[in-house]
Amino acid sequence: MSAASALFEPYTLRSLTVPNRVWMAPMCQYSAEVFGPNAGVVNDWHFAHYTARATGGTGLILVEATAVSPEGRISPADLGIWNDTQVAALRRITAFLESQGTVPGIQIAHAGRKASTDRPWLGGAPLKPDSEEGWQPLAPSPVAWDEKHTVPTELTIDQIREIVGQFAAAARRALDAGFKVVEIHGAHGYLIGQFLSPHSNRRTDEYGGSFENRVRFALEVTDAVRAVWPDELPLFFRISATDWLEDGGWTADETVRLAALLKEHGVDLLDVSTGGNASGVRIPTGPGYQVPFAARVHDESPLAVAAVGMITEPEQAEKILANGEADAVLLGRELLRDPSWARRAARELGGEVHVPDQYHRSV
């Protein structure tokens, strides 16, 4: 079946077909309980939030950064995927998404030195390790994010191996929870991004220094996840294509180099974001400002690519695909404004999209 609009063409990766190319970017809700048996567990808020985007026709939803361990949370109210209670509750969301034809995906994450911060709407301040909700962050090197953040503890080789194992366990649990896509969070200066960039990685062992050493952790996590993630299901990796630093940061050239390696290690799609690893950096934002980075990876690497960042208009999204700059678009804040954006775009562009039976009179 050929659709009039590229945005509403189905897309197949491995054995998984996504009904359209309008996808929801992972967005932390910082809304889980902090303590007790329901710590890190999805609740009614998460159910309402994700299912509304599914009834709105979104082809694939990436559930927010979900921590592989308690220390890996950004805020104390983050979702977790380190125990079976968390898995059982996620099943209700994946089942509903599937009932709407939306592919359920999840981003698995470790915050590293950016862990232990408050909810953004409460100021997002770092929480001291000895405060009620805070803890001591871990990182490749004892370099704090900024002068207000706690200096993180440098990871030992044993601790690095343990975290690689936590990513694999998280992927296994994601499968058990009914997800069809796992995205490894390698972007925005969280733990994997901290290893990638010389700005945050000052190690002198086999995990620091050269490009090969800085990407080692990312590739080890990828291998461990791929080993437990079924061959017929796709694996995504989110990257910050650049730190936006003149000197001493991760660069777009390195992103292209890493993309080729990620493909060899079993990643199917690169979700191309930028920034978040260096404080005080000015990022030249504007409509589609990260699309050129996605387009470059698309041109120069064998990976499929999703573009993200200030993509808000149907025509704009359509052009990104029609120009061959990306294979899919991820929308963040625009889907917070309008959960049924995909339906609006389908109307404007003449594409076909799922509409729940209950809403048939609104077609």
Ligand X SMILES: Cc1cc2nc3c(=O)[nH]c(=O)nc-3n(C[C@H](O)[C@H](O)[C@H](O)COP(=O)(O)O)c2cc1C
Residue among 250, 230, 233, 249 nearest 241 (CA)? 250
Stretch that binds ligand X, among 36-44, 131-139, 182-190, 295-303 (CB under 6 A): 182-190
Residue 133: how many other CB atoms lie within 10 Å:
15
| Binding of residue 6 to ligand X (CB under 6 A) | no
Total residues at interface with ligand X (CB under 6 A): 20
Q: Write the CB contacts of 307 (distance below 8 Å, at least 6 apart in sequence).
A: 272, 288, 290, 291, 294, 295, 320, 325, 326, 328, 329, 330
| Binding of residue 126 to ligand X (CB under 6 A) | no
Q: Residues 18, 68, 97, 187: which binds ligand X (CB under 6 A)?
A: 187
Active site residues: 190
Q: Provide the mask over 29-68, with x wherever binding to ligand X is found by CB under 6 A and - wherever it is not.
A: -----------------------------------xx---
CA 288 to chain CA mean position, Å: 18
Strands (E), 194-344: 235-240, 269-273, 304-308, 328-331
| Binding of residue 242 to ligand X (CB under 6 A) | no
Closest residue to ligand X using C-beta atoms:
332
Phi then psi for 360, rounded to 5 degrees? -60, -25
Pick 199 or 238: Cβ nearer ligand X: 238
Pick 27 or 281: Cβ nearer ligand X: 27
| Binding of residue 321 to ligand X (CB under 6 A) | no
Residue among 160, 93, 148, 81 nearest 116 (CA)? 148
Q: Are strands 11-13 and 16-18 parallel, antiparallel or unpaired?
A: antiparallel
We find the least distance from the C-beta atom of residue 341 to ligand X, in angstroms, to be 10
Stretch that binds ligand X, among 50-58, 153-161, 222-230, 305-313 (CB under 6 A): 305-313
> DSSP 3-state helix, strand, coil percentages of the chain (rounded to 5)?
35, 15, 45
| Binding of residue 235 to ligand X (CB under 6 A) | no
Q: Provide the mask over 277-296, with x wherever binding to ligand X is found by CB under 6 A and - wherever it is not.
A: --------------------
Stretch that binds ligand X, among 92-100, 134-142, 229-237, 308-316 (CB under 6 A): 308-316
We find the least distance from the C-beta atom of residue 290 to ligand X, in angstroms, to be 8
| Binding of residue 346 to ligand X (CB under 6 A) | no
Q: Residues 21, 110, 149, 238: which binds ligand X (CB under 6 A)?
A: 238
We find the least distance from the C-beta atom of residue 289 to ligand X, in angstroms, to be 9
Q: Write the CB contacts of 31 (distance below 8 Å, at least 6 apart in sequence).
A: 43, 45, 46, 77
> Cα–Cα distance between 275 and 165 in angstroms, integer?
27
Phi then psi for 349, rounded to 5 degrees? -100, -5
> Cα–Cα distance between 331 and 271 in angstroms, integer?
12
Q: Where along the sequence are the contacts to ligand X (CB under 6 A)?
A: 25-28, 64-65, 107, 185, 187-188, 238, 273, 308-311, 331-334
